[in-house]
Amino acid sequence: MGHSAAVWDYRPAHELTSDWNGNPYVILRNPQGASARISLHGGQVMSWKNEHGEELLFTSSKAVFKPPKAMRGGIPLCFPQFGNCGSLEQHGFARNKVWAIDNNPPPLPPNDSNGKSFVDLILKPSAEDLKCWPHSFEYRLRVALGADGRLSLISRIRNVNGKPFTFSFAYHTYMSVSDISEVRIEGLETLDYLDNLFHRERCTEQGDALTFESEVDRVYLSCPNAIAVIDHAKKRTFVIRKDGLPDVVVWNPWDKKSKAMTDFGDEEYKHMLCVDGAVVEHPITLKPGEEWTGRLEIVVVPSSFCSDHLDLHKVRF
Ligand code: BG6
């Protein structure tokens, strides 16, 4: 990876503490000063900062940091459904539940641990969850911060016993951007998408890259495993790599919807963009004993690194 052993040789560590409401959360740090904060409420990444202490994720100034709803910002986990259908609550219940620290997770490949500060969390269904979604699952989440500041999330969902079950999923990632009109997404051009603003009509992306001048609420289908969110004003690029997550949700509420959300500032749509690695079009079915894994990795690089057009195939992880 081009790093000396000294940089990588530090002990993975995390600190468990709690916020002013008494909600427990975990802090990950790397030796260069980058950090991530993960709430046990929802297993939600609440904050991710680079080595200069700059926040990379968006959090609304009107966010409510109290259960039972997910905080507006960071990375809420949408499971066992993305969206709003049937009797399940919008985006599923996982983001509204209290997770536990998993002290003895089944092993992951060495690349998911070496040189990283990480925490393992687990969610099992409560009696209340089983009433609305009667399936025995174990959801294991690892959140890791690399020595170079990259953030990775690994979700492992297992059917523990009983009948097969089916779910959809998203890492609902709120990125912090300087000005939405200066942002471009590369990697989604020419793809088909479902447009949530038009009854999920199937359309095809026409532009060279995706830019923003009004509300966007789309599910891009069968996407490449690397995409880039380029923030021209900040001269920085979020490079997102994903595995097991074929779809990408892109959401910005724009002005009208912003005003309708009580936990979101009227003008805040200018400073955020949700780009979610997701499984929406073809939900996952797990038979008893089967497990699904979905990985997301985000790294922030100076846009100069990407020149005019980032060659996503050359991005190293
Ligand atoms: C997006 C959906 O992913 O999430 C939008 O596509 C939705 O339709 C948005 O409004 C926010 O959802 P929630 O439940 O967190 O307010």
More confident residue, 19 or 143: 143
Give SS3 for 128.
Answer: helix
The CA distance from 290 to 308, in Å, is 43
Task: Please identify, by atom number, the ligand 1 atom nearest to the C-alpha of residue 219.
Answer: 6
Residue reference for tokens 């259908």: 85
More confident residue, 31 or 305: 31
Lowest mean pLDDT among 13-27, 65-79, 230-244: 13-27
How many whole angstroms from 164 Cα to the centroid of ligand 1?
27
The pLDDT value recorded for residue 204 is 97
The CA distance from 266 to 254, in Å, is 9
The pLDDT value recorded for residue 22 is 84
Tokens of 138: 């174990």
More confident residue, 12 or 139: 139
State the DSSP code for 257: H
How many whole angstroms from 217 Cα to the centroid of ligand 1?
8
Question: How confident is residue 10, by pLDDT bands cut at 50, 70 and 90?
Answer: very low
Task: Please identify, by atom number, the ligand 1 atom nearest to the C-alpha of residue 91.
Answer: 14
The pLDDT value recorded for residue 313 is 60
Is the minimum distance from the CB of 217 to ligand 1 under 6 angstroms?
yes
State the DSSP code for 73: B
pLDDT of residue 303 exceeding 90 = no
User: May I ask the CATH architecture of the domain 2-314?
Assistant: Distorted Sandwich (2.70)
Give, in order, the Cα–Cα distances in Å from 272 to each of 32, 168, 227: 26, 24, 17
Q: Which amino acid, residue 71?
A: M
Q: Is 29 annotated as a binding residue?
A: no
Question: How confident is residue 87, by pLDDT bands cut at 50, 70 and 90?
Answer: confident
Is the minimum distance from the CB of 96 to ligand 1 under 6 angstroms?
no
The CA distance from 232 to 211, in Å, is 11
Under 8 Å between Cβ of 85 and 167 = no
> What is the pLDDT averaged over residues 74-82?
98
Query: How far is C-alpha 59 from the geometric centre of its chain's CA atoms?
Result: 13
pLDDT of residue 277 exceeding 80 = yes
Burial class (CB in 10 A: 0-12, 13-18, 19+), 210: buried
Under 8 Å between Cβ of 246 and 279 = yes
**pTM for this predicted structure:** 0.93
More confident residue, 304 or 233: 233
pLDDT (tens digit per residue) in 181-214: 999 999 999 999 999 999 999 999 998 889 999 9
pLDDT of residue 308 exceeding 90 = no
Q: How many CB atoms lie within 10 A of CB 158?
A: 18
The pLDDT value recorded for residue 4 is 36
Give, in order, the Cα–Cα distances in Å from 185 to each of 4, 57, 59, 317: 33, 16, 21, 19
DSSP E strand boundaries for 53-204: 77-78, 100-101, 117-123, 136-145, 151-161, 165-171, 174-176, 183-186, 192-195, 201-204
pLDDT (tens digit per residue) in 112-156: 888 899 999 999 999 999 999 999 999 999 999 999 999 999 999
Q: Is 11 annotated as a binding residue?
A: no
Mean predicted lDDT score pLDDT of the chain: 91
The pLDDT value recorded for residue 305 is 63
Nearest CA to 169 among 108, 226, 72, 93? 93
The pLDDT value recorded for residue 66 is 85
Is the minimum distance from the CB of 242 to ligand 1 under 6 angstroms?
no
State the DSSP code for 262: T
The pLDDT value recorded for residue 86 is 84
The pLDDT value recorded for residue 227 is 96
Give SS3 for 87.
Answer: coil
pLDDT of residue 268 exceeding 90 = yes
The pLDDT value recorded for residue 208 is 86
The pLDDT value recorded for residue 310 is 58
Tokens of 145: 């911060």
